[in-house]
Amino acid sequence: MTELLNLTGKVAFVTGATRGIGLETARGLGKLGAAVVIGSRDAQKGQATADQLRKEGLTAESVKCDVNSIEDHAAVYGFFEKNYGKLDILINNAGILLDEESVSVQIVNRTSTLPAETLRETFDVNFFAPIQLTQTLLPLIRKSEAGRIVNLSSVLGSLTLHADPTAPIYSFKTFAYNASKTALNAFTVHLAHELKDTPIKVNSIHPGWVVTALGGNKATIDVVEGSRTSIIAATLPADGQTGGFFHLDDQLPW
């Protein structure tokens, strides 16, 4: 298992971090010494989450961030520029699953009837928002000695596995969600290539099937274990990989 680095002096921003994987990722990074900033659509929930982490002895703040709001992106940039002058770790954690009816009772492929509005709303949050936020914050990440960008993807974004009848996910054809994660993986590959001659590393991760509001109560691992891959990708050493797709230390097929 990858040995995690000490993050003292680092600052990390986690979107969608008031619950689930995002909260546990923030907590885990804080325990490694990072100053963690909670991103939340609801400013009060974000503040309450930061208060709780501080009670646990961690360094934590919060900032309002509706990932769909360009105005919030600009405000987040201003927050980090004023208070830290840099950003070391960006965890694009916020995401939605709207085609839940496809798996709520039994697995049903609804690709041919899925409303375009569901696709658009899913892509807005899962694809366009992390791209726009990353582009906004990248000048601050470039000021880090070792910037890390972690995109929360899913094994359900793997076209290789979706085309393989023997793969465990073969039947899970939640089209909007899956396609948005495939597209996010493409962003990872392209941005990592653009930044390959810099100290910045960009990776997609699959957290596992985690018991969360999104993952449901039939999932197989808890949020602590589900946060581990994000933390590994956020703490990669200088010789760590960029432009990859991982679960824990295992590389996944695109």
pLDDT tens track for 33-50: 999 999 999 999 999 999
pLDDT in the model for residue 219: 46
Range of the domain at 25: 11-251
State mean pLDDT over 223-227: 77
The answer to the question of residue 101 being in a domain is yes
The answer to the question of residue 3 being in a domain is no
User: In the Cβ-directed half-sphere of 183, how many Cα atoms lie within 13 Å?
Assistant: 18
- The tally of domains found in the chain comes to 1
Of 49-58, 140-149, 201-210, 239-248, the poorest mean pLDDT is in 201-210
pLDDT in the model for residue 208: 79
Q: Which helix (H) or strand (E) holds 13?
A: strand 11-14
Q: Residue 221's pLDDT band (boundaries 50, 70, 90)? A: low
Nearest to 152, CA basis, from 77, 12, 246: 246
Query: In three state form, how does the secondary structure of 73-97 look?
Result: HHHHHHHHHHHCCCCCEEEECCCCC
CATH code for the domain of 98: 3.40.50.720
Catalytic residue among 77, 84, 170, 177: 177
pLDDT in the model for residue 18: 96
Nearest to 152, CA basis, from 128, 126, 134: 126
Residue 116, token pair as written in the block: 């375009």
The answer to the question of residue 35 being in a domain is yes
The answer to the question of residue 88 being in a domain is yes
Nearest to 208, CA basis, from 237, 157, 248, 165: 248
Tell me: pLDDT of 23 over 50.
Answer: yes
State mean pLDDT over 212-240: 75
Is 177 assigned a catalytic role? yes
| Digit-coded pLDDT (tens) for 73-105 | 999 999 999 999 999 999 999 999 998 654 555
The answer to the question of residue 238 being in a domain is yes
The answer to the question of residue 1 being in a domain is no
The answer to the question of residue 6 being in a domain is no
Nearest to 68, CA basis, from 130, 141, 135, 14: 130
CA 238, 206, 92, 1 torsion-angle sign: negative
The answer to the question of residue 4 being in a domain is no
| Digit-coded pLDDT (tens) for 135-177 | 999 999 999 999 999 999 999 999 999 999 999 999 999 999 9
The model's pTM is: 0.93
